[in-house]
Amino acid sequence: MTLSIQDLYDRLQLVLADPDDAWIHGVNTLEQAGAQDLCFAEDASQAAAVASSAAALVLVGEAFPEVVGKRLLRVAEPRNLFFEIAVWFAPVAASQGIHPSASVHPTAQLGEDVEVGAGAVVDGETCVGSGSRIGPGSYLGIGVRIGNDCLIGPNVSILRDSTLGDRCILHPGVRIGGDGFGFRWDGTGHRKVPQLGRVVIEDDVEIGCNSCVDRATLGMTRIGRGTKIDNLVQVGHNVDIGPHSILVSQSGVAGSSKLGQGVVVAGQVAISDHVTVGDGARIGGQAGVVKDIPAGVAVFGTPARPVKQALRESAALIRLPALLKQVERQQQTIDRLERRLSELDGGSSSASSGPASSPDALSPGFGSGDEID
């Protein structure tokens, strides 16, 4: 897509004070921008970067300092507007329809403008909403429901009876609806527990590459609307994740745990089974969550605890080797003092039991028969 600066202002319903025949061909960072790119800057500290950038136009905040020789567009929220405009430049290929090598079951129902890529399989009694795209090599199992305008990437598996809402994005390698990790010990071995539930993914959810959402043992595993899940995330059976939550790469949520609305789970976090995390809670990277977290609380560490407490404990742990050396030195000093005291006590005991304790010893130079005149 290519826009003149005048077209851009018109789309934003703004008035261009000085006519300009420059064109915008894309968006980029300040440092890497070309002469036909749009950029943004949020902070006055970026003024030097703006001055040295080749960008055609820079979105800045209303209080951003003037930069000589640069065209600036002052707006209330430059970052948000920048990414709204960036959508205009995102490439969108026209629908290719049903590839000849795709397999679509006769009982499957496809909406208007649905694309099914090469080698993809759409199984029986599956419904795919209008405008959705199924990538090459992907599989939609029996009874799967896909909403409108979804993007299912290459090599995605969505297994039986799973449901996706509208505008969901599943990146390559995602697995939805695999069996939950359920086994029982019968005294001789681990016996599989049938996983008879399903997965429900609500509107506007995005799931990154190679992440997995397991089906419920009974009932459902649910991902709330607007939630965003990074690459390599594991969501266990019967987990319930509230709306607009964030799960960062390599995190895992064990079975039957519940996350509220707007929860942020940082990278490599492990959440144990049957744990409840309240609305708006934030869990720091590599934390281990083994008990409930109240709403709005930020936690860190293993076991997860309030951030200030965890940081104090971490700081104390860093000082521990020096403190141990100090204690060792003090113990050595105490040992020396104890030995010295023991030596002194031993000398006193020897003196009290020897000749010095006899009457003669107390009067040196006088024999027992001597008399004092």
Residues classed as catalytic: 237
Strand order in the sheet with 212-214: 103-104, 121-122, 139-140, 157-158, 175-178, 212-214, 234-235, 252-253, 270-271, 288-289
Three-class SS string for 264-277? EECCCCEECCCCEE
Q: Which helix (H) or strand (E) holds 291?
A: none
- Which residues, in sequence order, are CB contacts of 101 under 8 Å at separation 6+? 118, 119
Q: Which residues of 354-366 are buried (b: 16+ CB within 10 A; e: fewer)?
A: eeeeeeeeeeeee
Handedness of CA 360, 366, 368, 373 (dihedral sign): negative
Q: 229 φ, ψ to 5°?
A: -120, 130
* Residues 110/128, Cβ–Cβ less than 8 Å: yes
Cα–Cα distance between 112 and 194 in angstroms, integer? 36
**Residue 172 preceded by cis peptide, ω within 30:** no
Q: Determine the Cα–Cα distance for residues 238 and 198; give it in Å rounded to an integer.
A: 9
